[in-house]
Structures are given as C-alpha cells and as structure tokens.
Structure 1
Amino acid sequence: MPVPAPQLGSYQYVPETKENLDWAELVTIDLSKFHTPEGKKQLAQELISALRNKGFFYVKNFNISQERVNRQFAIGREFYELPLEEKSKYVPDLDAGKFNGYTPAGRRVIDEKSGLRDKIEIFNMPKFNGHFPQAYPELIQSHLAEIEEFARSLHSEVLDPLFELLALALELPEDYFTRIHVYAEKSEDHLRYMKYGKYSTEENSKLSLWTRGHTDLGSFTLLFRQPVAALQIRDPQTEQWKWVKPQDGTLTVNACDALSFLTGGYVRSTIHRVNVPPKDQQHVDRLGLLYFSRPHNDVKLATITESPVLTREGYTQNEFERFGNKVPTMEEWTFAKQKWQRTPQAYRDETHRTATILPGFREKVFDEPTAVGA
C-alpha cells in the first residue's frame, strides 16, 4: 500500500502545445495483457519490434496511479523551490563522476557566442537498499518513505515485466534479465527530479538545443509524462529527428547502452536530445520525473551467448569484444561514462564529444539540430 505522507498541495500540469509538431510514431506496450501466456507472447514481440525499430516506446496500465505520480512531481516542484544554498549542501563530487545528490545549473556553456549556460538542475536519489548512504534535505527526508515505495514499485510494476518480455523475445529464461536487475542488489539505479529552467525569448532565439543528442548508459530509462514538448528522438530508420508526444496515462521508455552491449547491438541504445520547446511553452519551466535502471555493478557487459535469437541473427560481439578490448563491468562503464558526461567542457568541444570513454568505445557526434517546430 502507498505510504501516507504530509500534504503537498495539488500539482498542475501546464497546457500542451498547440503547435503542429512532427511527432514520432511509437508503439504502446499495454501491460494489462502481461498476465496471460498469450498476452505475454504478443507483448514480447511488440517490445522487441519497438526496440529494434525505434528504441523508444510507451507503456500503459502499469498499476501505478496518477495520484502517486502527481505527488512525486509535487515533491520535485517543492525541492526546486528550496534556496540554492540549501540545495548546494547535497552536491557530490561531480568531476569524479559521482551523481547521487544535487547538480546545480550552469556547469556548461551551451552557446559560445553569447556565453549562455545551461539551466538544468538535477536531483538523483539512489536505491533504498542499504548500499547507498545518502543525505537529504528535510523536505525530501519527510517524504522518503513514499519516495522509496514509489521507486520500488517502478521495479515490480514496470521494469520486471519489461525485462521478462525482453527475455522471452530473445528466447532466454524469463528471469534472465530480472536476475541481473534485483532491487536489493548494488546497482547505480536512481530516481530523478529534473528541472529545465526557462529562458527568455531573446535567449531562446540564440539557442538551437537545450541538450545535444546522446544515449543513456543503463538498461531502460523511464520518463513520466509532462506536457512541455522538448524531447526528440533520432529515428534509427530515417535518421530524422522526431518530437516525442506526451501521452496521458503512460510512461515513455527508452533502451540504453547496457542493453545494447549485452545484446551485441541487437537492442538499440536510442539517440535523443532536448530541443528548445515550441514558442507557446517557452515561458514555463520543464519539470521531469525519471527513473534510470542499470544492471548490478558486477555484471560484465559481454554479449549474451545463450540467446538463440542473437546467434541466429549474427549479433555475437559488442564494441569491446569486436576489437579484443577488456569488457567492462557495469560499475566501470557507469563511472567512466558519467565522468565524461559531467565534465564541464564547452558545448561544442568536438574533442570532448568524440572522446574514447573506455578502450573500444568512442563517443560520437550526432546530427545537428533541425529547426524548432520542423
């Protein structure tokens, strides 16, 4: 049962854009079908098709009420209203790749000509499983029981079913992926409240993007609906950028680097970015609620050899194996890429953007942005 907590007040979502954007056509995985053998079989094929063709998809009927989601947005809203001095007490060693706690805005210059810096604030909360001692401000501490209950429910109600479906699609035992994503085990999962602060009309006119194209480093990223249109994906089939539409009652999910490594590239780690919102939404902040799922820290990111599907399709080596490099553990990969991501390099520093993160894996520069509203 959800844990009772102090009153937060209601959370009001901003109106959706009225602009006619080029929306991506994404599959919706309906987890109400998960509880029958026939439904599981159907969903497994829908999932693997979505992962292979787009890398992004929606999930609905995941047994977490909108009221519980709204409370998390309300807690995030209240956190970002705390004074900067208070939030700054919880900044980790960002230059060393640490990420649990608060990341202040302004670490990156995102427009060289004007000197504009990012307005992104992040607050990450690790697993509540005893492996990650973490200090919290009183606001978060007073709601910690329900935050933990919410984070755990994302595992049982969303991630575990998706991992079972992926295993079925790859003709593996159903528990293959759930065994390496156990909540009680040490892994670098985190729940995130994320705020993209608004820019003025003049500032936005100088910007092409808020966040450049990138891939996430874990297994699945869960993104709860919020109506400010900004997320875009690069369609793997056309390489065109498409907007991701906020859908009522759904989660937006994308596959990440770890699943790509484990499947030898059969599952795509999807390229996405955050664009400047359409003009009718540029006057508001963009608050995000996300969960980042990652395999256990000691999992070696080698291509799965037990999958008949991967063997038949010829996906037997990932980037590290193909050239005889050491295959990293999830922990090694996490902190190597996180350190690279958090380096406050100039936004257009091509040397940094194409750096070798670990021997065998070099980052790539993705397509330049399309015009807002295109």
Structure 2
Amino acid sequence: MLTPSAPPILDFSPFYGGDSEAKAKLVDKVRECCLYNGFFQITGHHVPLELQHRVMECSKRFFNLPVEEKLLIDKNTNDFNRGYELLRSQMLEAGTGPELKEGLYIGEEIGRDHPYYLQKKLNSGPNQWPQTVPDKEEFQKTTMEYYHAVFELAKDVLGVVALTLGVESSYFEPLTDGAVATMRYLHYPAQPKDEDEKLNRGIGAHTDFGCITLLLQDDVEGLQVLDVPTGQWLDVKPVPGAYVVNLGDLFMRMANDKYKSNIHRVINKSGKERYSIPFFFSGNPDYTCECLPNCREPGEEAKYQPITVQDMVTASYKESYGRAEKYKHDLAKKSLGETPAMTAIKA
C-alpha cells in the first residue's frame, strides 16, 4: 500500500562542495523527486536567511498600503506583467472562484530601449515601483538584491537537474543565459473557516507554466501538493530558510513527461494572513524547448513538437487570466437576471 509523504527536505550544500559521494546522493534524491511529483524543499543554499527576512518585510510593507496607493502601479496599465495585481484577478482552477490573493509582479529591470522590450518578449519591461511605501529606496534595493540571489539559485538547481539526466551541470546554460524570470510578492488575506473553500481558495489547483519555481514561504501553512497515486492532498509545511522547488509545465514537456509538473494549491484556513514569494524561472524567451537527453526509450518518439519559451508561457498566462475575466463577466450577467454559461468555463 502506498504511503504518501510531503515533498522531502534536501540539503543542497553538497552541490557546492567537494564531496562527490554526497553530491551523487543529492542528485539521486532530486531525480527521485522529479520522477515522482517534481517537488522538493532545499536548505543549505547560498541565499542568506537575513536577506530572506528583509525581503519578506518588504512584501508586508507593500501590502499594508491602502489599496488606492497600490493601484497607482496597477499591472493592467502595461503589457509586460509588472506591478500590482488586485485580489481575485487570476483563476487557475476551472469551477472555483477567482483567487483570494493579491500580488506585486517584479522582474529584471529591462528598459524601454532594451531589445526584449522592443520585441515584446515575455514579461520584459521596467518595474513599477511603489512611491508611497516606507523607505522606498531600501524597498527597491532589497527586492532586486533578493531577485538576483534567487536567480542564481535557480541556475544552480537546474545544474543539479541536468546531472539527474546524465549530462553536465552546464547543460542548461543556453536556457539560463538571457533568461526571463518573474518574482511575485503574494498576500493571502485571512480566510474565514466557514467559507466555501472551493470558491475562496488562495490559489486553485494548478501546475506552474515555466521551467522551475522556487518558493519562499512565511510561517503560515496553506500550500498543498497533490499525491497523484493516492489522490491525497499533502501539506507542505514551512521550513525556516528553505525553498520549495518544483518543476513547471515547460520542463515536463522537455522531459517528455518523464519528469513531473505536479498539481498544487493554496487554501489558507489558518485564520492568519499568509505571505509568500514565488520565483518563476521561465528561461531565455527565444530558447527552443525540445526533448531532453535520456528522456526517451530507444525508438520512442518525442511527445511534443519544439516550442519556444516565449510561446509556451505566453499561452498559459492568457488562459488563466482569460478564465478569471470570463467568470467575473458571467457573474455580472447573473446579477442582471441573465443565466451565465458557467459550463463553458474550461480547464
């Protein structure tokens, strides 16, 4: 009988050291996780705990602002996914309500004269910084210091994943060179315990769009990962200093479905406000994603046609935000006495 267990906590430090046996054990454990559900937690990385604390405080300072001040940097005023996102703007799980979270989208500073901006590459443009947040200069400095630290960690994680495939740790350098990533400050308001959790989830059940995600949690629980063989939802308990790491749809596609991009969700029934900072690493927008080495049996065909990072992730964004807009449009029609075509909302 299968006994499900939450994603394991792995010591990542052997990746940086000279102990080849410890490094091989780390690679084996990561491979097992990638094959099973694509989720694990890591400690022993190079992102300082002190920096994690500072960036979490930045997040809280921003979300403490009045909503009208946060809306001064509304992400809907640009097409490159930077700025503030209101509660219930996204809907990742069909049949639920739009999600009970608000966010601030941040990425590399890409000026309006940069080729990525001029060519309308994925999530490429200047950040929208709040002007009324306390100590705004420190807010910007800490945010970008943290962004760059986790960007480097994402490259290290991909280095270990490359080793699990039997190739050099540098294999993904063409993907990570010139890569695009998006960081979000997320805030989940306290959710009354008697609310219908299907309609008031922090984030509905979904898989991530890109290559890998690194998530920093505060001390409030809520993240759950689906254990596919048993159908059980497993709590991913916060571990001080750790990152929850998971593979995204783009990586699973490259791995010919051998490595998993698994379903997860957030339901904040703690009675407390929850804060988290996910870092979504997509890759170089022009990188062509094809079947990876050692992900096919002899004679087996690749399941997917080649696709660029740009095309894959852009299509996923459009689907999730379009779903939320349709849901709200149908509710508006219902309030006018019309019958919304709720069955038309697709996964």
Are residues 1:78 and 2:61 paired? yes
For residues 207 and 301 of structure 1, what CA distance do their matches in structure 2 show? 35
How far did 1:136 drift? Answer: 1.0
- The change in CA–CA distance for 1:41 and 1:126 in structure 2 (over 3 A counts) is same
For residues 211 and 202 of structure 1, what CA distance do their matches in structure 2 show? 18
Are residues 1:254 and 2:240 paired? no
- Which stretch shows the higher mean deviation, 171-180 or 137-146? 137-146
For residues 260 and 102 of structure 2, what CA distance do their matches in structure 1 show? 28
Query: Is this contact kept in 2: 1:98–1:338, CA < 8 A?
Result: no
For residues 80 and 300 of structure 2, what CA distance do their matches in structure 1 show? 33
Per-residue deviation, residues 151-193 of structure 1 (Å, max 9, x unmatched): 111132x2222111111111123211133113xx152x11210
Are residues 1:275 and 2:267 paired? yes
How far did 1:349 drift? Answer: 4.6
Matching residue's letter, 1:337: S
Query: Is this contact kept in 1: 2:188–2:268, CA < 8 A?
Result: no
How far did 1:234 drift? Answer: 0.9
Are residues 1:28 and 2:16 paired? no
Q: What SS does the aligned partner of 1:291 have?
A: strand
Per-residue deviation, residues 283-308 of structure 1 (Å, max 9, x unmatched): x211111211111100122212xx1x
Q: What SS does the aligned partner of 2:213 have?
A: strand
Query: Is this contact kept in 2: 1:264–1:315, CA < 8 A?
Result: no
Query: Is this contact kept in 2: 1:266–1:315, CA < 8 A?
Result: no
Q: What SS does the aligned partner of 1:165 have?
A: helix
How far did 1:145 drift? Answer: 2.3
For residues 56 and 73 of structure 1, what CA distance do their matches in structure 2 show? 23
How far did 1:23 drift? Answer: 8.3
- The change in CA–CA distance for 1:208 and 1:290 in structure 2 (over 3 A counts) is closer
For residues 205 and 163 of structure 1, what CA distance do their matches in structure 2 show? 35
Query: Is this contact kept in 2: 1:218–1:259, CA < 8 A?
Result: yes
For residues 174 and 162 of structure 1, what CA distance do their matches in structure 2 show? 9
In the alignment, which of 198, 213, 217 is matched to residue 209 of structure 2?
217
Query: Is this contact kept in 2: 1:208–1:276, CA < 8 A?
Result: no
For residues 106 and 155 of structure 1, what CA distance do their matches in structure 2 show? 28
In the alignment, which of 120, 126, 130 is matched to residue 137 of structure 1?
130
Matching residue's letter, 1:32: S
For residues 315 and 351 of structure 1, what CA distance do their matches in structure 2 show? 36
Per-residue deviation, residues 1-45 of structure 1 (Å, max 9, x unmatched): xxxxxxxxxxxxxxxxxxxxx984322221221122333322111
Matching residue's letter, 1:233: V
Are residues 1:147 and 2:143 paired? yes
For residues 26 and 314 of structure 1, what CA distance do their matches in structure 2 show? 33
Q: What SS does the aligned partner of 1:175 have?
A: coil
Structure 2 residue aligned with 1:107:
89
Query: Is this contact kept in 1: 2:256–2:296, CA < 8 A?
Result: no
Structure 1 residue aligned with 2:176:
181
Are residues 1:353 and 2:346 paired? yes
Query: Is this contact kept in 1: 2:190–2:268, CA < 8 A?
Result: no
- The change in CA–CA distance for 1:23 and 1:246 in structure 2 (over 3 A counts) is farther
Equivalent residue pairs, number: 314
Q: What SS does the aligned partner of 1:341 have?
A: helix
- The change in CA–CA distance for 1:285 and 1:164 in structure 2 (over 3 A counts) is same
Structure 1 residue aligned with 2:52:
69
- The change in CA–CA distance for 1:135 and 1:167 in structure 2 (over 3 A counts) is same
Per-residue deviation, residues 310-352 of structure 1 (Å, max 9, x unmatched): 234777523x43xxxxx43111111111011112232995543
How far did 1:61 drift? Answer: 0.8
Are residues 1:291 and 2:279 paired? yes
- What 5-or-longer segments of structure 2 have no aligned partner? 115-124, 329-340
Identity in percent: 22
In the alignment, which of 224, 229, 236 is matched to residue 221 of structure 2?
229
Per-residue deviation, residues 247-274 of structure 1 (Å, max 9, x unmatched): 2331111111111111111110111011
How high is the TM-score relative to the length of structure 2?
Answer: 0.80
- What 5-or-longer segments of structure 1 have no aligned partner? 1-21, 322-326, 355-374
For residues 175 and 316 of structure 1, what CA distance do their matches in structure 2 show? 26
